[in-house]
Amino acid sequence: MKKLSILFSFLFLAALATAQSDYKAQNEGWLVKIEEAFNESKETGKPIMANFTGSDWCGWCHKLTDNVFSKAQFKDWAEDNVVLLELDFPRRKKLPEDIRQQNFSLQQAFQVRGYPTVWVFHMDKNEKGQFAIQALGRTGYTPTVDQFISGVDQMIARANKSE
């Protein structure tokens, strides 16, 4: 898969990150703010794995959570390999405005049109204060933990080879 580079304004996301909200991810261990995911990724060197989901309406999203994200094998792998970011697009539940705007901006930047969509990427800030995203790959619903992990491991390995 071709690498995708995306730039968007750090000032916009910084403003969103400073807004305080108690909103938490549907799944334990997942972050909901891109700034927090960026900081953890920079600290650990792990790529960010962003799950674009519709938590209160998307059947395939529920299946992905039930079959993959809720399993101990996935959680153990994720802890060692990626920073987890949940970007939710509910229909009935209301998100805090800062989270809603952040998720919409990332949906537009990654051109997400269906759910679930999972992007794996590295982020950095350029000299102009903009985030630069190096996309490693994307996936969607995968029926088993082994298949999901294998696919993401391949994305990461391809990126490491090209560096």
For residue 5, report the phi and psi dihedrals to the nearest 5 degrees. -110, 130
Write down the pLDDT at residue 14.
Answer: 46
Model confidence at 162, pLDDT cuts 50, 70, 90, reads: confident
- Contact indicator for 69, 14 with CB cutoff of 8 Å: no
Contact of 159 with 138, CB cutoff 8 Å: no
The predicted-structure confidence for 25-42, as pLDDT tens digits, reads as follows 888 899 999 999 999 999
**What's the Cα-to-Cα distance from 158 to each of 3, 31, 77, rounded to whole Å?**
10, 25, 18
- pLDDT, one tens digit per residue, over 90-134 is 999 999 999 999 999 999 999 999 999 999 999 998 888 788 899
Domain CATH for 11:
3.40.30.10
pLDDT for res 10: 43
Residue 24 confidence (pLDDT): 87
Residue 5, SS3 per DSSP: strand
Identify any residues that bridge with 86 across adjacent strands, giving them in sequence order.
Answer: 51
Look at the chain and report how many structural domains it folds into: 1
Average pLDDT, the chain: 89
Is the whole model's pTM more than 0.85, yes or no? Answer: yes
Q: Which domain holds residue 64?
A: 4-162
First to last CA, the chain: 15
* Size of the chain in residues: 163
Per-residue pLDDT, 131: 80
